[in-house]
Structure 1
Amino acid sequence: MDDTELLDRARAAVDRSYAPYSEYRVGAALETADGTVFTGCNVENANYSNSVHAEELALSKAVEAGHRSFSRIAVSSEKRDGVTPCGMCRQSLVEFCEADLRVVCEGDPPAVYTLGELIPETISMEHLQ
């Protein structure tokens, strides 16, 4: 699967988003080291702090299925505006992903970053030991 196909999976997840408050629908597709893909969409709640971000949902589903090694994540929004993972999602990804995780975002052509570029200084397990 190439970056475009992974981004297509993120775009498909956008359609399942529940975003009645922000009206900003987001989808994510996270690829594990073995090629399995988990998708997620944002799920909002009237109490905004209880909302779930697309990247977190994809990551949670993958972790729940036993995966701990990841190679890429693609992120899309209904607006196709080049959205990148927010700071909270970046920190969540850092818990399980290396700095070289490939982050593919909407664009023409798609923008590609590494997780380390997006969040260079993180709180990690090493900091807490």
Structure 2
Amino acid sequence: MDAKIDDKLLAAALAARENAYAPYSKFTVGAAVLADDGRIFTGCNVENASYGLTCCAERNAIFAAVSSGARSFKALCVVADTDAPVAPCGACRQVLAEFPFEKIILANCRGQVKITTADELLPYGFGADALTKNK
């Protein structure tokens, strides 16, 4: 994947961040997912007064992709206004482990970027394959 695609994903994630609903934390996050077929899906974080009902930008982007029929992905980009590139929470890391991603792009609003993988983010994660190995 080339830098132009990464830049396009970052731009989409930054745009999605503008739609975030974060009245409690004021921590707005955007994400963009690139499906294998070239479609880009975005998501933003949506908070709730009952914090457990909040949904992160990464999961919203992945769920939007899945609900549109995408099942395999090339990349995910997540961005927030942080000092260093932002990383997904544990719940999002587990959702990332469910689907094959070639790379994960962590970014901040200052243009800093770190490229990683789902395996690096969740080295001992599990998916459907782990559930069937013990049967």
TM over 0.5: yes
Within-5 A mapping of 1:25-44 = 25-44=28-47
The equivalent of 1:104 in structure 2 is 105
In the alignment, structure 1 segments of 5+ residues that lack a partner are: none
Say whether the 8 Å CA contact 2:84–2:112 is kept in structure 1.
no
The SS at the match of 1:44 is coil
The equivalent of 2:121 in structure 1 is 118
The SS at the match of 2:46 is coil
Aligned-residue identity in percent: 41
In the alignment, structure 2 segments of 5+ residues that lack a partner are: none
How many residue pairs get aligned? The number is 127
Superposition deviation, residue 14 in structure 1 = 0.6
Q: Please report the TM-score for the alignment, with normalisation by the length of structure 2.
A: 0.87
Alignment root-mean-square deviation, CA:
1.5
Worse overlay, 85-94 or 67-76: 85-94
Report the structure number with the largest CA radius of gyration: 2
Q: Would the alpha carbon gap of residues 34 and 80 (structure 1) be closer, same or farther in structure 2, given more than 3 Å must change?
A: farther
Q: Please report the TM-score for the alignment, with normalisation by the length of structure 1.
A: 0.91
User: Does residue 1:75 correspond to 2:82, yes or no?
Assistant: no
Which AA in structure 1 matches 2:9?
A: L
User: Does residue 1:12 correspond to 2:26, yes or no?
Assistant: no
Superposition deviation, residue 41 in structure 1 = 0.1
4+ aligned runs moved over 3 Å, structure 1: 78-81
The equivalent of 2:54 in structure 1 is 51
